[in-house]
């Protein structure tokens, strides 16, 4: 039931995972941030929502009234999750990251992510999760992760790209433009992670 505004303003989140606090402050407008919740967003799994990228990149665990579900297994498709009809999200556990940041290209009217990229460097791995671009929701970019694991720098992503095949295309952005944005936002996120 934590609202986006509460996640954004929480001194605990700001200290432990500043990238998550910042992400929450980028969601919608003040009315949405004061009414919408972390659990509600995850259960809804809108393909342009911000939290799924954070959950997947950070390797979060979604805890329900019945079980614990790894983020990689929780998001199953467009507006679909692993939740059973009688299951409710009660908590979300986010592992700490050495470095993390989120960058998004917002729809100018409603501020949802046309493309959003969350990058997290954890002790054992680097994860790059993308929201807003995929036709089936949040996804990871293994080529970016492998490059960043060898050297965590925006420069290692130069020249790397995501194929446009399978990406969303609509009046706001073509699949090719979204593919381009993924590379740009990933480099920006890595650069921003050094300040977090």
Asked whether 117 and 128 are in contact (CB, 8 A), the reply is: yes
Q: Show the domain range for 185.
A: 4-59+96-193
Q: How many domains does the chain have?
A: 1
Is residue 138, in this structure, part of any structural domain at all?
Answer: yes
Is residue 53, in this structure, part of any structural domain at all?
Answer: yes
Mean pLDDT on 73-96: 96
CATH number for the domain harbouring residue 25: 3.30.390.50
Is residue 119, in this structure, part of any structural domain at all?
Answer: yes
Is residue 104, in this structure, part of any structural domain at all?
Answer: yes
Mean pLDDT on 178-196: 94
Is residue 85, in this structure, part of any structural domain at all?
Answer: no
Is residue 82, in this structure, part of any structural domain at all?
Answer: no
How does pLDDT run across 6-37, given as a tens digit for each residue?
Answer: 999 999 999 999 999 999 999 999 999 999 99
Residue 196: pLDDT band by 50, 70, 90 thresholds? low
Does residue 116 register a pLDDT over 90?
A: yes
| Residue 108 C-alpha from the chain's centroid | 19
How does pLDDT run across 35-82, given as a tens digit for each residue?
Answer: 999 999 999 999 999 999 999 999 999 999 999 999 999 999 999 999
Q: What is the pTM of this model?
A: 0.96
Is residue 147, in this structure, part of any structural domain at all?
Answer: yes
């Amino acid at each position: 039931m934590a609202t986006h505004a509460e996640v954004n303003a929480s001194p605990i989140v700001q200290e432990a995972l500043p990238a998550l606090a910042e992400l929450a402050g980028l969601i919608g407008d003040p009315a949405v941030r004061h009414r919408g919740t972390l659990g509600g967003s995850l259960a809804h799994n809108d393909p342009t929502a911000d939290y799924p990228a954070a959950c997947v990149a950070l390797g979060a665990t979604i805890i329900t009234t019945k079980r614990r579900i790894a983020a990689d297994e929780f998001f199953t498709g467009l507006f679909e999750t692993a939740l059973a009809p009688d299951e409710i999200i009660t908590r979300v556990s986010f592992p700490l990251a050495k470095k993390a940041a989120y960058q998004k290209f917002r729809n100018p009217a409603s501020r949802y992510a046309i493309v959003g990229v969350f990058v997290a460097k954890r002790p054992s791995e680097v994860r790059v999760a993308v929201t807003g671009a995929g036709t089936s929701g949040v996804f990871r970019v293994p080529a970016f992760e492998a490059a960043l694991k060898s050297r965590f720098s925006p420069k290692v992503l130069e020249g790397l790209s995501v194929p446009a095949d399978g990406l969303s295309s609509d009046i706001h952005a073509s699949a090719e433009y979204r593919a381009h944005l993924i590379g740009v936002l990933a480099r920006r996120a890595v650069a921003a992670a050094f300040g977090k």
